Structure 1
């Protein structure tokens, strides 16, 4: 290439150097040195077969339980039918107007997370939007989300002291903008079973009092939630952050055995019929921050998070795309790229994918950048976005999308809330014929 020869010593190196520019990969010392080397790696990656990728595991299953979960999930018959495809051929298949969502749903059962990561690396942003927009992943907890033509919202009414009244006030504002159909999900300041139970009881009381077709969750550590549920807390689903390696998950204080135990508990003691009873969060760079990345690039590790999540048939999953900071995604360009990558990789693996369109204040990004990404993700068919008051989370100290941002993206792109939630909004006068009414944004309607 340009009269220069490039040599790569391993599949892991090819994967890392074929990745788009990410400050996390540069920090780890595994990124391409320049655009020419990146292009050479992409070209070589595009010519590899899916069998090449499976036969040369980046992290062997005997060394990592996440790899084992991914390997055991493969449908061998489907895999054999596509094993000789090159990564470039997989890309062409996904983008072809002749390929239906049903055909994508079939072949994904033969794909490993690393194959998904590989095709992502040779796709443009518009490729990622187009391919993801074909895929519909509908899940059910108390109610269903993910239908084509809908955009759900997670109400995130966090409070810096876990004040029940403060959380409730913020929740009423979210509902008044039509946000909360994905989940009413609170990040607690106090990671205790007692605090989690109080918050769950309050959200359950609000849901029951106003007959809201949604589900609740408190985003404490899974072991804390388990204790709260055993103490009688009314939780519709369990939450946990995931990493793409066994060591990364151990840094989160979890492993597959614990997740299996929690899965059994929520099925027996949770308050929702399901069958989808989990909420997972991920985000590129978490493995690097805990020194558990094994020299693997952050996009590939993120794809592996979804391979693990798939085992538990989650109700919703979202990448917190810009939350960790500029050490992993330096600026808005990298955040936008990562958001589109994560959404596509999740959807291709059958994950009900949402995105927390967010950034930290020491990153080279601003709210306009996040609004751009929100619209791009809406075009890609994202299942849900996160809503916080005025796009500013007063507890986690980061910037996300606001309640009215979600309402605006729906209006601009012609999307509706989830069907049962839309009916409820119409019943209480907040929506009429798919559009918010003049009552929208007035939380006092829930105080009368």
Structure 2
């Protein structure tokens, strides 16, 4: 089983614990550990623009075709009107391309995932995601499973889901994946690029790894939104140029620890590895506090071990209107006699961090947020964040990208 299959199982426990199922084992939260990159790990949207795929998909005699590993070419008669989505990044992409109303499901809590998107979209006039009535696909109580009957009940035009991920769910085999493709609708998705994880054997020859913006490019073809993608990619390129122009020298960059904290235990994640889970932090090139450690899903730190590392900055994953009240977590750490000695605690640098399963709109905000958290002298102070609030209002002259421009692009203007 590849790492992302395992991560999905562990995330189920993480989400359940954070939302209120306190009986679940905290030790199964897991991190984003290291993986051997076997594909591109850049975040330059020009990489995707140079793809051989045309901006609006390939025309055929009966419609058009979009392409992405591991499923290859998928032919469409028209833009899908009902779309199954498991991972949040594809919900964000559907909204970005003007088809958020087509999304009929999310893998975990639709409320929690929708609240995260709401937090960012609050700062994009006219952009929203109606997540009322959206189906929760994961029906497992202790693991992860999607009931095959749900596929028939939802009767989607497209499953915007990576079939390589589904093979890791309880009770699923290759024949089941093929049955759904033939009897309901095709698959189209790639999520093992989150960490460039090893695919299951059935997809080993077909799998490719993409950057977040390459996935966004190929998904734009599904919605015939190539021009929208190009405009958003241009905003992203401008944002990266702004970051690159003002990055401090390496010697002045802080050490950063990305963690999940539960029940007195820290679950670490590397920030210097390939994959779209780090697409918000890779352009900022900080020093990884865990670079010298062998971080895996089984890795956990107590207070004493984290104090040995003593990062300058702690970023708590899933921190923006998602599963964790980072303000309360910060207070809990500071109340511990060892935790209070952490430099990040003493200097007020424990922050609500990004959601690693990010789409392109989320990515723009999360790059800006992380830049301010890591380099306030260069990019302006991060104003702080309270659980349940939208993404904080940033004074216009301190914003790193133009909200109005992004909202107009999503709105088709």
TM-score with structure 2 length normalisation?
Answer: 0.24
Higher helix share: 1
TM-score using structure 1 length? 0.23
Bigger Rg, structure 1 or 2: 1
